[in-house]
Chain A
Amino acid sequence: MASTQYGIKYAVHIITAHFGNLVAKVCETLLRRGPLTLRLLIRFTELSSSQINNSLLILIQHNCVQAFTAVTEGEFGDAPKADTQYLALFSNILHRMRFSKFLAIASEKLEKDKDCEELLEGLLQNGRLSMEQIIERAKSSKHAGNRPIPDVVNESLLKLLNAHFVERCPAPEPTLSPQVEEQPPPRKRGAKAAKVSEVPPTLEQRLVESARPMEVIRFSIGETNTEAEESEHYSSISGQKRKRGDLDMIQESGDADGIILWRANFDEFIRCLRHKACIEHVRSQFDDGAVNVLSAILEATRSSEKIVKTEITVPLSLENIYEEVMKNEVGRSMTLDRVEASLSALGCSGMEDYKINLQKIIEQAQIDEVESIVLKRYGRDAYRMFRFLSKTGGLVETEKISDSAFVDKNEAPKILYRLWKDEYLYMEKVAITVPRYSLCLLWRVDRYNLWEHVLDEMYHASLNLQLRQAYEMEQDKELLNLPPDKRGGPLEKRYNRLRNVRILLESSLLKLDDALMLFHDF
């Protein structure tokens, strides 16, 4: 889904908070206008070229911008033109709000390995680091034990690479072929979500894909020497095999001295968070048995997942699943019958091997989130009508809606109108001429547009949470600077309030961010 108006505002707010106004201005220009050359960036931002260069360096260092060579056909028989453009990576900017979640996942999966945690934290804070830099950081840390630091670092990096939590940085400047221009975002969702994979990828997706090192290299620590090998590192999906010349460009623009840069692999963390979201949703609907079974299946099929948005898990036999369930302490009390019953509750027929439709679970979680907004904001009558329309799928006239959803006919039109005005429903007017001229209103839940609207509201709400937090902290600034022993009496009360405010705002922001991922990343 493309970034929305408030999505951009929120992203710019994040960049401003982390890197200041100048960098944010460059980033905002890229987000609003799409990929630009340095020349155009200068024109649009009216900043000096060195200011822009520095900003771009920061943004690239932190994986928020990707450079690429755009080749355009030469006009009037001229040779093809190649120029460097910069594209802001919207998703990566938002990931900056999730670093604490990423660290928690890595810590959990790597059994609290302190060295790994530190290495990963360094990468998250600095964007990209070379081996040498990582070792430098480790040396200055207090954790250094008796073993030689390079060994420790090497071991940690290997562990992180094996878990796919860290990867090699993408090619600094891949080439994109001219034929395929950016496609408009897909216009259908929901019922047609199954076809999402057939939708042509966006420019951002194509670029990320073609800059990414090939799987074998991406997670391997070994140095690569030969040029021939190097040329295979970067796969290209733009339909053209990369030519020699492009490779030179890669070499020149960063990798020239053969230094490998490492960074956190956001995809892997998002995949883990997606699994968590699926499990949480199942927990809200079914009993522990279903939760255990789903966790086991996700664990067993993880290694075969190649993309973030796996639609359906690879098929497993009942024996495989049972075995996996038994590996887990909480699952050990389950009988084979119970595992089978849980699978059937999860919608597996059991006719053949078992597979879980993860996309369906995510969709249901999205629906729950939206319905909960409708219930809280517009009330129970609206909730029932919304669910009725959601279930029906098509256009339905006012009368039929109020009849089926048991909403008073005098009230129904008013509520439907409110939902329409706030872009929660789609409405169509149809003129009827028999028996006499009148206007009939038809209503529908337009899933694709509604999801985008809800996502925009969520970005808006996230931004508001942050702005309010900044405001609250600013209001009581002097309170925060007070040493603890001076906080007695009435000040103490104010101080405690401020602490509670902060906790509430921060935890709400983290939860809202989970919902954001549900709609944007999963």
Chain B
Amino acid sequence: MSRSQGPSSLKRKRPEPAHGHGGALIEHEKVLYDLICSKQSMGIWIGDMKRETKYPDNVVTKSLKALQARGLIKLVEHYQNKGKKFYLSKDFEPSKELTGGNWYSDGKLDREYISTLKGFCARMIQKMKVATIEGIVDAFKKSGASKVDLSREQIEEIVNALVLDNEVMEVKSTGAGEFDFIPVGKICYKSYAKGVKGEPKTGAMASTPCGVCPRINHCTPNGIISPRTCVYYTKWLEF
């Protein structure tokens, strides 16, 4: 399990002085640079810059080019809106709003990475029988499974996703039996008993074609879409 870059969206790097990159900034550049810096990790879209400074297009474009050439600012694409470019001061990492967040790489949710982590956490919880979040974090750290340091919050996010997947149960400690030594009322995580999968067994409705049918709202007894002519049924009734 490795990842080239740790999630550190808000980490501020050592600020570099604005001068020393080939002379002082000219007036327009200075105003634009200050504006960009003031937005910190959120960055600012070129359209908004034009609106706020009321500079003509060519001035803004030229100044931004100059600032970029000096290495003072950088360009980030919005994860949802490719092509919508945001300018950030070199000193800031792009925010979650721009990149999508910790679990995103190249503007996409890093499913593979997440599912590896999920599988790992699920196995740990199964081994521990009943686990608290602290226990899981501890075990995670000790295992050295991830080269990247994950924060407690991040591990908690992963465990919560497992709960939503219904792969592990969230239960409150009763302080007795399997919850010995765990304070009463504390949230714990548990695997499902062997043979019982958490995920609901396919229900009665979901086992019929109509239960999973995307057209059910358009289907009527004598309409164009009807149970008599339905292809989903025809397929289901192939023997």
Binding site for B on A (CB under 8 A): 9, 284-287, 341, 344, 349, 368-369, 371-373, 375-377, 380, 383-384, 387-388, 391, 403-410, 422, 454, 457-458, 460-461, 463-465, 467-468, 471-472, 496-497, 500-501, 504-505, 508, 511-512, 514-515
Using a CB-CB cutoff of 8 Å, which residues 185-239 of chain B contact chain A? 193, 196, 199-208, 210-214, 216-217, 219, 221, 226-228, 230, 233, 236-237, 239
Answer yes or no: B92 CB below 8 A from chain A CBs. Answer: no
CA of A407 to CA of B104 in the docked complex: distance in angstroms? 11
CA of A422 to CA of B211 in the docked complex: distance in angstroms? 13
Residues of A within 8 A of B237 (CB): 468, 472, 501, 504-505
Residues of B within 8 A of A383 (CB): 165
CA of A372 to CA of B204 in the docked complex: distance in angstroms? 9
Q: Nearest residue in B to A467 (C-beta to C-beta)?
A: B227
A-B contact count (CB 8 A): 137
Residues of B within 8 A of A512 (CB): 204-205, 208
15 A-B residue pairs with Cβ-Cβ distance under 8 Å, sorted by A, are A284-B201, A344-B174, A344-B177, A372-B206, A375-B200, A375-B206, A384-B164, A406-B103, A406-B157, A407-B109, A409-B101, A464-B219, A464-B230, A468-B233, A511-B207
CA of A384 to CA of B157 in the docked complex: distance in angstroms? 13
Known contacts A463-B221, A471-B227; 18 additional CB pairs below 8 A are A286-B196, A344-B176, A368-B201, A372-B202, A373-B211, A373-B212, A375-B206, A377-B206, A406-B103, A406-B161, A409-B104, A460-B210, A460-B219, A465-B210, A468-B230, A508-B207, A515-B204, A515-B205
CA of A458 to CA of B210 in the docked complex: distance in angstroms? 8
Q: How far is the CB of B26 from chain A (nearest CB, A)?
A: 29
* Beta-carbon contact of A461 and B211 below 8 Å: yes
* Beta-carbon contact of B177 and A467 below 8 Å: no
Residues of B within 8 A of A508 (CB): 204, 207-208
Looking at B201, B211, B217, B228, which has the most chain A CB atoms within 10 Å of its CB? B211
Answer yes or no: B100 CB below 8 A from chain A CBs. Answer: yes
Known: A405-B164, A410-B80. A372 touches B205 (CB 8 A): yes
User: Which of A406, A408, A458, A504 makes the CB contact (< 8 A) with B205?
Assistant: A458
CA of A391 to CA of B170 in the docked complex: distance in angstroms? 11
Answer yes or no: B114 CB below 8 A from chain A CBs. Answer: yes
Answer yes or no: B166 CB below 8 A from chain A CBs. Answer: yes
* Beta-carbon contact of B207 and A287 below 8 Å: no
Answer yes or no: B79 CB below 8 A from chain A CBs. Answer: yes
Answer yes or no: B70 CB below 8 A from chain A CBs. Answer: no
CA of A405 to CA of B162 in the docked complex: distance in angstroms? 9
* Beta-carbon contact of B80 and A387 below 8 Å: no
* Beta-carbon contact of B228 and A471 below 8 Å: yes
Residues of B within 8 A of A387 (CB): 164, 166
Residues of A within 8 A of B201 (CB): 284, 368, 372
Answer yes or no: B132 CB below 8 A from chain A CBs. Answer: no
Known: A373-B203, A457-B216, A468-B228. A285 touches B196 (CB 8 A): yes
CA of A454 to CA of B206 in the docked complex: distance in angstroms? 11
CA of A369 to CA of B203 in the docked complex: distance in angstroms? 5
* Beta-carbon contact of A511 and B204 below 8 Å: yes
Known: A377-B211, A406-B114. A457 touches B205 (CB 8 A): yes
Known: A464-B210, A508-B207. A368 touches B200 (CB 8 A): yes
Residues of B within 8 A of A501 (CB): 237, 239
Q: How far is the CB of B210 from chain A (nearest CB, A)?
A: 4
Known: A409-B80, A501-B239, A504-B237. A369 touches B212 (CB 8 A): no
Residues of A within 8 A of B157 (CB): 404, 406
* Beta-carbon contact of A371 and B211 below 8 Å: no
Residues of B within 8 A of A391 (CB): 164
Q: Nearest residue in A to B227 (C-beta to C-beta)?
A: A464
Residues of A within 8 A of B68 (CB): none
Residues of A within 8 A of B174 (CB): 344, 349
Answer yes or no: B160 CB below 8 A from chain A CBs. Answer: yes
* Beta-carbon contact of B230 and A373 below 8 Å: no
